[in-house]
């Protein structure tokens, strides 16, 4: 296989064998499917580089030999929009359309087809780097002796999409048609992998409609950055194409002045929908909902409703799984499905076939409450009403899934003692302040234990035995307490009552924990006899008691925090470690 690294810096000789210089670069003048090399850049010592048509190359084995002698050699000017392989493509980022990712070009694969040298692939693997360092042969040989091989990672050029960049004298800006054929989620993944400047350049090359479909899959801060970079005129066109809820999320990240400039350039009706959503807090049902839904008056007949759906559904609704029914004042009265509507007699009013009991949310309800309604009732969309029961919008299931994902990330951050850190772009001082309570709480418990152990300075044998057994009690206590706390937290998340949770623990968790504690106590007794030379009987019993208590308190502590309206997720690793210290150390000391 022939690669660019095999040709760069090679000597160039004329037909008579006289050395002319060396290959500095190869040049393309287009980016068709497998583009043809048009020129080589001939560098000459002490003189400037010249461009030689590739047609003048007669041989590329060893040194490049030209078909003509020096005197007959013709050099030509090159189009300023020509593409240089080394300068414009090598070591640059490109999009792997097939793999839906951004990659770096380490080398370029070439092939001779019909007496023409063509670019056929981009090497993105370590082999390309080794080839440029003249280390590919030794590394491959060493790997063969170890029954290994260097993987080939060459992307066919028809799967490569260039990125527009400031540093290139030539823009790799073919139509980006292959990029446009990707789903919006894949385009969003590619944009997120790029540095800000490259992201903005690629966004400029994507048409407005594709970009409007793609932006909702980006983080809101990234959406806002792209809107700022593209200017108010184009930003208003793109925001106008987005669903109102997604548009409000993106504009909510801008300053009020920036958002208002964009809204002012939009169609008045579209701008008003977005303004209405911007009035709600982003973490409420009002902030999640979209105003694109279908609501029919209860007096409308089934035939008229079907005719209205044909007109409204393509443009005015994000989903038509549910059709909402309202009274003359816009208050939510019921809901019906397409099946109910299609099977009803033509003259039947929709009010007669609707289901009157509708699960709904208030515009001020917390987003977590909204998400739990989706999971509890298995909904695809949830209507949102105001205090007068007027239907204001709907929340769709994709937004509810986003909320559940966001809440899960926040819970993990809290459980790790980094409360809300994943959602807050704060300074190091602010992040340190978030972690400080956990540090101080654990340090206080450790100080109490240290003071307690000071009482055993005069009994070094008892102190040694206590320190030998302490890791066992701490590790097992955190494990069992964490399991109990996790079961309680899941039950609370599913809105189980305190009685249901306690009965569940009594019936399932505590007997299991007791059995595991007894088994751990037996292991502890052996450990005590072998390591601490303590009496195994009382030590084993005390270890079992300590573990049962740690599991019991760990299971009940989320209930206490829930009762105090604190976040139960705060029963995390630091809290359980403190619990194990405060329970385990005194009990072990008493047994020893």
pTM over 0.85: no
The helix (H) or strand (E) run that includes residue 308 is: helix 302-316
Distance (Å, whole) CA 358 – CA 391: 12
Please provide the size of the chain in residues. Answer: 592
Contact 487, 509 (CB under 8 A): yes
Residue 43, helix vs strand vs coil:
strand
Q: What interhelical angle do 232-241 and 220-230 show, nearest 10?
A: 130
Distance (Å, whole) CA 354 – CA 340: 8
What rounded mean pLDDT belongs to the chain? 79
Structure tokens at 55: 């047609």
pLDDT at 424: 44
Residue by residue, what is the 3-state secondary structure of 391-425?
A: EEEEEEHHHHHHHHHHHHHHHHHHHCCCCCHHHCC
Distance (Å, whole) CA 123 – CA 105: 6
pLDDT at 194: 76
pLDDT at 505: 62
| pLDDT one-digit tens code per residue, 259-303 | 999 999 999 989 999 999 999 998 899 999 998 888 999 999 999
List the domain boundaries for the chain.
2-161, 182-279, 295-407, 451-591
Distances (CA, A) of 423 to 198, 219, 268, 364: 25, 11, 33, 21
pLDDT at 164: 47
**Range 182-279 classified under CATH 1.25.60.10:** yes
Residues of the chain with pLDDT under 70: 31-32, 73-74, 98-100, 161-179, 313-319, 408-435, 437-438, 452-453, 455-469, 472, 493-496, 504-514, 516-518, 520-541, 564-575, 587-592
Structure tokens at 564: 């105090």
Question: Regarding beta strands 64-66 and 11-13, do their DSSP bridges make them parallel or antiparallel, or are they unpaired?
Answer: parallel
Structure tokens at 235: 């930003």
Chain Cα centroid distance, residue 281: 23
Residue 541's contacts (CB-CB under 8 Å, 6 or more residues apart) are: 521, 591
The helix (H) or strand (E) run that includes residue 162 is: strand 160-162
**Range 295-407 classified under CATH 1.10.540.10:** no
CA angle 18, 24, 30 (to 5 degrees): 115
Distances (CA, A) of 24 to 12, 84, 86, 129, 477: 10, 10, 8, 18, 67
Cβ neighbour number for residue 352 with a 10 Å cutoff:
14
pLDDT at 392: 94
Q: What is the DSSP string of 119-133?
A: EEEEE-SHHHHHHHT
Strands (E), 286-328: 295-297, 323-326
| pLDDT one-digit tens code per residue, 30-65 | 766 788 888 888 888 877 788 888 888 888 877 788
The CATH number given to 451-591 is 1.10.357.20
Among 333, 322, 329, 330, CA closest to 294: 322
Residue with tokens 């977005």: 274
Residue 42, helix vs strand vs coil:
strand
Q: What is the DSSP letter of 56?
A: G
The CATH number given to 2-161 is 2.30.30.240
Residue with tokens 């937290």: 489
| pLDDT one-digit tens code per residue, 506-560 | 566 666 666 766 676 666 666 656 554 545 456 666 777 777 777 777 777 777 7
Cβ neighbour number for residue 306 with a 10 Å cutoff:
14
- Is 2-161's fold the same as 182-279's? no
| pLDDT one-digit tens code per residue, 409-432 | 666 555 554 444 444 445 566 656
């Amino acid at each position: 296989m022939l690669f660019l690294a095999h040709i760069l810096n090679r000597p160039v000789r004329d037909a008579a064998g006289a050395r002319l210089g060396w290959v500095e670069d190869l040049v393309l003048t287009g980016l068709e499917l497998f583009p043809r090399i048009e020129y080589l850049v001939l560098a000459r010592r002490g003189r400037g580089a010249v461009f030689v048509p590739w047609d003048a190359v007669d041989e590329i084995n060893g040194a490049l030999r030209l078909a003509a002698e020096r005197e007959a050699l013709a050099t030509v000017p090159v189009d300023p929009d020509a593409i240089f392989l080394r300068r414009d493509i090598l070591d640059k980022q490109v999009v792997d359309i097939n793999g839906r990712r951004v990659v770096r070009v380490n080398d370029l694969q070439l092939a001779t087809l019909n007496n023409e040298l063509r670019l056929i692939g981009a090497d993105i693997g370590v082999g390309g780097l080794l080839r440029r360092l003249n280390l590919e042969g030794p590394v491959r040989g060493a790997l063969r002796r170890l029954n290994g091989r260097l993987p080939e990672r060459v992307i066919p050029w028809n799967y490569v999409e260039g990125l527009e960049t400031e540093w290139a004298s030539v823009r790799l800006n073919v139509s980006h048609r292959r990029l446009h054929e990707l789903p919006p989620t894949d385009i969003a993944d590619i944009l997120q992998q790029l540095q800000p400047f490259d992201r903005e350049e690629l966004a400029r090359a994507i048409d407005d409609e594709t970009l409007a479909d793609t932006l909702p899959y980006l983080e809101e801060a990234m959406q806002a950055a792209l809107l700022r970079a593209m200017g108010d005129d184009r930003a208003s066109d793109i925001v106008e194409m987005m669903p109102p809820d997604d548009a409000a999320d993106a504009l909510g990240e801008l300053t009020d002045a920036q958002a208002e400039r964009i809204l002012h350039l939009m169609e008045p009706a579209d701008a008003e929908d977005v303004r209405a959503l911007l009035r709600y807090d982003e973490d409420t049902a009002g902030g999640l909902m979209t105003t694109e839904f279908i609501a029919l008056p209860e007096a409308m007949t089934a035939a008229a409703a079907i005719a209205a759906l044909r007109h409204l559904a393509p443009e005015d609704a994000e989903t038509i799984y549910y059709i909402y029914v309202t009274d003359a004042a816009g208050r939510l009265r019921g809901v019906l499905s397409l099946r109910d509507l299609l099977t009803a007699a033509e003259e039947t009013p929709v009010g007669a076939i609707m289901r009157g009991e509708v699960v709904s949310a208030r515009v001020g309800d917390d987003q977590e409450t909204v998400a739990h309604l989706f999971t509890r009732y298995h909904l695809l969309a949830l209507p949102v009403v105001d205090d007068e029961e007027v239907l204001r919008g709907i929340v769709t299931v994709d937004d509810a899934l986003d909320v559940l994902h966001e809440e899960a990330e926040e819970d993990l951050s809290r459980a790790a003692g980094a409360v809300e850190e994943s959602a807050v772009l704060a300074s190091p001082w602010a992040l340190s302040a978030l972690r400080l309570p956990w540090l101080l709480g654990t340090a206080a418990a450790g100080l109490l234990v240290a003071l307690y152990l000071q009482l055993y300075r005069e009994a070094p044998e008892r102190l040694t035995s206590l320190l030998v057994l302490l890791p066992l009690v701490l590790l097992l206590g955190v494990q069992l307490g964490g399991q109990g706390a996790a079961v309680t937290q899941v039950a609370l998340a599913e809105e189980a009552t305190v009685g249901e949770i306690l009965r569940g623990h009594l019936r399932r968790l505590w007997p299991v924990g007791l059995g595991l504690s007894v088994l751990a106590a037996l292991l502890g007794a052996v450990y005590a006899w072998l390591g601490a030379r303590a009496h195994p009987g009382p030590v084993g019993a005390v270890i079992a008691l300590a573990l049962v208590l740690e599991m019991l308190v760990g299971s009940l502590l989320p209930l206490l925090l829930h009762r105090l309206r604190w976040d139960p997720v705060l029963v995390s690793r630091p809290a359980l470690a403190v619990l194990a210290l405060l329970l385990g150390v005194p009990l072990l000391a008493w047994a020893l």
